[in-house]
Amino acid sequence: MQLNEIETKKVLDQGMLTRSVIETETAMKKCQLYNEMAKDPAVKGFFKEQAKALDDVVGHFKRGIVELQ
């Protein structure tokens, strides 16, 4: 019985992490798009930094998924 609960938790955790990856990748792509559209160098820099930070977050989530497997 305990094994089933552990496996269920792993599946739910993996699903949550997968959803987080998708949402974060979407936000990162929006930042990249805004960076391309911006004309002000300060705004471009801001969105470029945000996209890089979100890329790091995606990597963190993906490492979490690997650890669950």
d(CA 45, CA 38): 9
Question: Would you kindly state where each structural domain of the chain is located, as residue ranges?
Answer: 22-69
pTM above 0.75, yes or no: yes
Most distant CA atoms of the chain, gap in Å: 59
Contact 11, 58 (CB under 8 A): no
Mean pLDDT of the chain, nearest integer: 94
- Predicted confidence band at 6 (pLDDT cuts at 50, 70, 90)? confident
- Predicted local confidence at residue 1, as pLDDT: 57
Q: Which tokens is 12 given?
A: 């739910």
Burial 8-35 (b: 16+ CB within 10 A, else e): eeeeeeeeebeebbeebeeebeebbebb
- Predicted local confidence at residue 20, as pLDDT: 97
